[in-house]
Amino acid sequence: MTGLTVRPLTGAMGAEIFGIDLAQPMDAAAFDRIHGALLDHGAIFFRAQTITPAQQLAFAGRWGEIHFHPHMKTLPDHPGVIEILKKEDDTNVFGENWHTDQIFTATPARVTMLYAKVVPAVGGDTLFADLHRAYDALSDGMKQMIAGLRTVNVYQTDKVRPAAMTPTMSGEPPKQYEHPLVRQHPETGRKGLYFCHRGITRRFVGMSEEESRPLLEQLLQHSTRPEFTCRFRWEVGSLAVWDNRRVLHYPVNDYYGHRRLMHRITVQGDPTS
């Protein structure tokens, strides 16, 4: 671990890690340090990495079994790696909302790993929000009110995505999955909010979408306040890892006319209740 350093990105969350080459074999002590940084900061970032899809899969596998998106294709030679491409003439980006990955599945993703292959000179940053800090900042009365609420989450089929990111659908209506609104982190024990934008988190169990919307929107506005967030500026060779059990993220769509190519892997998560 000689030279491995962890530098917080903001006062709220996120940290950059220096002094390690992810293309090289990693011993248990180094991975434990990196894993600990992820638990401490919610999202971690590496610069100037040159890795192949196979090496990215090997690193992701240190966190657990690879999670396969139910509606997106992966690279033919490297199952589990999704190529996220926004071409120069695309007006939309993939995942253009505050969200946590795969909440519309029974066991949502634990970790997401995103590696930058091609990025615009300026723009295309990703925002992150810490749902532990957001929960801690709620009043005691609000915590009591939401303690037993469960959300209904559905894959958003009507969302406009970049042309290269068209989902594969079976023709069957997407299944609905319930998760607790307040989730206890399985490794740290901390409580945090756990939900998405209302295109995916549709409502609370036992309530209509209309009844649920005001509270969901208020909680999303609260959770994404600047003091709970960080912003990462991508460079070619940057790699981000974030904990979907406590973090929302948002890709900024401010680089029309420029190409952006990323390789994404998600790691299978834990049951939420």
Of 69, 99, 110, 133, which one is the catalytic site residue?
A: 99
Q: Which of 41, 103, 98, 94 is nearest to 240 (CA)?
A: 41
Q: Where are the alpha helices (DSSP H) in 70-147?
A: 131-136, 140-146
Rounded to whole angstroms, how far apart are CA atoms 111 and 91? 28
Q: Which amino acid is at 217?
A: E
Beta bridge partners of 128: 230, 249
When computed from its CA atoms, the radius of gyration of the chain, rounded to whole angstroms, is: 18
Residue 268: in which H helix or E strand, if any? none
Of 110, 249, 260, 263, which one is the catalytic site residue?
A: 249
Of 90, 101, 130, 243, which one is the catalytic site residue?
A: 101
Rounded to whole angstroms, how far apart are CA atoms 229 and 40? 14
Residue 18: in which H helix or E strand, if any? strand 15-18
249 in active site: yes
Rounded to whole angstroms, how far apart are CA atoms 5 and 15? 10
Of 67, 197, 245, 264, which one is the catalytic site residue?
A: 264
264 in active site: yes
186 secondary structure, DSSP code: T
Q: CA-CA distances (angstroms) from residue 240 to 113, 131, 148, 153, 254?
A: 6, 18, 33, 25, 19
Rounded to whole angstroms, how far apart are CA atoms 103 and 188? 20
213 in active site: no
| Residues known to be catalytic | 99, 101, 249, 264
